[in-house]
């Protein structure tokens, strides 16, 4: 009998070898720039380091012969940039905020001195994107978690971007109402002709509906691209919505929440008030939790600065009547009496006997527009019994 560990390793190896390649759009950011001395001459060989503040993870590169440098594949978040080279003071820049798909340029002017000395720049980096032609609106996590939304659906915040117009009803916008969250157009484009990405993976079905809505707490930011976008996108005639999900950090965080709606706190619906119908029961509870932090196994593994986790759960319990307006036959019609059935112009609707014929092609009408009880189909009569009786006046034309 084979060792269980050997069998497990074999299964993992088979899974890796059988895996296929899946392509997605890039959501990470890039920082570019040029390192120069006080005279403006480029400085080659400078070591550029970008450090993710929340994770304390660093990425380094060197400037080339013309002083240029590129640091790609940076997760959105807050960064600290340092530059070091012999004969110059250490350069440090704080408060660098990178958003999804940013291509930010930061030029560095080094000052003569010792590496042990440093020059610190605390000024925020300009949000103006000079390295790309795309124009977009970014909605960050602070807004996402604090602005009230219907049904805790984060897509409602994407609709607030310039050029985005919500189409269809605003009634059903819960996190599982796919059609409700998919109906929007960008800059006059066709409804639902948009691409929606979650961490670079397409989140759109074949019918152009959004597949899944992440919970509010797991969304780090929304980015809505509304103009002519990069060649990395395709198959859409509208805009592009990019969702970047949050990850854990070096600190443990968690929260519990519950939102509720009760009939005592809600107003009656307009269509119910208009015909005097009482307010129906309405009780909705939305609850869940979010927790995150580094992976730590005491005495085995310390994942600080290395490996992180985030877990989020949300559920909804709805106990309510969902009133609507529908048309049902009057009680006398169910018994075959159509003497009260009229056309739009007020003339009666004539009911003909299908078992009669005339030379001119017409059939004989039932007397007084009443179908004899013996002629009623017993199966149809039983089926009509399952239909609710009308409880409000309507137009029978």
What does the alpha-carbon distance between residue 11 and residue 202 come to, in Å, rounded to a whole number?
Answer: 29
Q: Tell me whether residue 157 is in a domain.
A: yes
Q: Tell me whether residue 235 is in a domain.
A: yes
Span 155-180, mean pLDDT?
78
pLDDT confidence of residue 295: 92
Q: Tell me whether residue 283 is in a domain.
A: yes
Whether 16 shows a pLDDT value over 80: the answer reads no
| Alpha carbon of residue 112 to chain centroid | 50
233 and 290 assigned to the same domain: no
DSSP class of 267 = P
| Between residues 226 and 343, the one the model is more confident about | 343
pLDDT confidence of residue 199: 86
Q: Tell me whether residue 127 is in a domain.
A: no
Backbone phi and psi for residue 190, each to the nearest 5 degrees, phi listed first: -70, 150
What does the alpha-carbon distance between residue 189 and residue 32 come to, in Å, rounded to a whole number?
Answer: 33
Span 118-128, mean pLDDT?
67
214 and 296 assigned to the same domain: no
Residues with Cβ within 8 Å of 132's Cβ and at least 6 positions away in sequence, in order, are: 103, 230
Instruction: Name the β-bridge partners of 120.
Output: 92
What does the alpha-carbon distance between residue 173 and residue 178 come to, in Å, rounded to a whole number?
Answer: 8
Residue 104 structural domain: 29-121
Q: Tell me whether residue 335 is in a domain.
A: yes
Q: Tell me whether residue 22 is in a domain.
A: no
What does the alpha-carbon distance between residue 113 and residue 95 come to, in Å, rounded to a whole number?
Answer: 24
334 and 301 assigned to the same domain: no
The pair of structure tokens assigned to 242 is 């990019």
- How many folded domains does the chain comprise? 4
Angle at CA of residue 390, ends 386 and 394, nearest 5°: 140
pLDDT confidence of residue 191: 83
309 and 339 assigned to the same domain: no
Closest CA to 334 of 377, 267, 381: 381
Residues with Cβ within 8 Å of 228's Cβ and at least 6 positions away in sequence, in order, are: 133, 134
207 and 260 assigned to the same domain: no
pLDDT confidence of residue 21: 44
DSSP class of 88 = B
Closest CA to 45 of 33, 53, 35, 55: 35
DSSP per position, 355-378: T---TTS--PBPGGGB--GGGS-H
- Answer yes or no: are the C-beta atoms of 77 and 99 closer than 8 Å: no
Domain CATH number, residue 94: 2.60.40.1120
192 and 230 assigned to the same domain: yes
Over residues 245-290, the pLDDT tens digits come to: 888 888 999 999 998 888 888 888 887 788 777 888 888 899 999 9
Whether 55 shows a pLDDT value over 80: the answer reads yes
Q: Tell me whether residue 128 is in a domain.
A: no
Cβ of 251: how many Cβ atoms within 10 Å? 10
DSSP class of 10 = H
Span 107-132, mean pLDDT?
74
pLDDT confidence of residue 23: 45
Span 349-353, mean pLDDT?
92
Q: Tell me whether residue 373 is in a domain.
A: yes
68 and 36 assigned to the same domain: yes
Whether 35 shows a pLDDT value over 90: the answer reads yes
Residues with Cβ within 8 Å of 94's Cβ and at least 6 positions away in sequence, in order, are: 80, 120, 121, 122
Over residues 64-105, the pLDDT tens digits come to: 999 999 999 898 889 999 999 998 999 999 889 888 878 889
Over residues 365-385, the pLDDT tens digits come to: 999 999 999 999 999 999 999
């Amino acid at each position: 009998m084979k060792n269980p560990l050997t069998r497990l390793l074999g299964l993992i190896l088979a899974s890796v070898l059988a895996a296929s390649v899946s392509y997605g759009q890039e959501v990470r950011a890039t920082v570019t720039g040029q390192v120069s001395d006080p005279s403006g001459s480029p400085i080659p060989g400078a070591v550029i380091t970008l450090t993710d503040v929340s994770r304390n993870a660093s990425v380094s590169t060197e400037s080339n012969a013309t002083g240029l440098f590129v640091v790609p594949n940076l997760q959105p978040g807050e960064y600290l940039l340092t530059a070091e080279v012999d004969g110059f003071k250490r350069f440090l820049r704080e408060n660098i905020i990178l958003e999804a798909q940013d291509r930010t340029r930061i030029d560095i002017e080094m000052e003569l001195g010792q590496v042990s000395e440093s020059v610190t720049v605390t000024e925020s980096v300009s949000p103006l994107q000079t390295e790309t032609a795309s124009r977009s609106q970014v909605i960050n996590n602070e807004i996402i978690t604090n602005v009230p939304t219907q049904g805790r659906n984060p897509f409602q915040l994407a609709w607030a971007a310039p050029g985005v117009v919500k189409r269809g009803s605003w009634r059903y916008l819960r996190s599982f109402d796919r059609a409700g969250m998919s109906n929007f157009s960008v800059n006059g484009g066709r409804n639902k002709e948009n691409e929606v990405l979650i961490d670079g993976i397409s989140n759109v079905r074949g019918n152009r509906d959004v597949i899944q809505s992440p919970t509010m707490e797991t969304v780090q930011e929304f980015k809505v691209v509304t103009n002519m976008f990069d060649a990395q996108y395709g198959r859409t005639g509208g805009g592009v919505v990019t969702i970047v999900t949050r990850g854990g950090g070096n600190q443990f965080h968690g929260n519990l929440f519950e939102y509720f709606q009760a009939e005592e706190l809600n107003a009656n619906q307009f269509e119910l008030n208009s015909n005097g119908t009482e307010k129906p029961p309405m009780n909705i509870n939305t609850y869940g939790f979010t927790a995150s932090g580094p992976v730590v196994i005491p005495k085995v593994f310390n994942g600080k600065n290395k490996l992180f986790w985030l877990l989020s759960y949300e559920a909804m319990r709805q106990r309510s009547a969902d009133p609507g307006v529908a048309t049902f036959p009057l009680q006398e019609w169910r018994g075959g009496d159509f003497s009260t059935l009229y056309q739009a112009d007020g003339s009666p609707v004539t009911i003909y006997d299908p078992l009669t014929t005339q030379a001119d092609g017409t059939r004989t009408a039932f007397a007084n527009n009443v179908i004899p009880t013996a002629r009623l189909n017993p199966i149809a009569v039983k089926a009509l019994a399952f239909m609710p009786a009308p409880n409000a006046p309507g137009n029978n034309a």
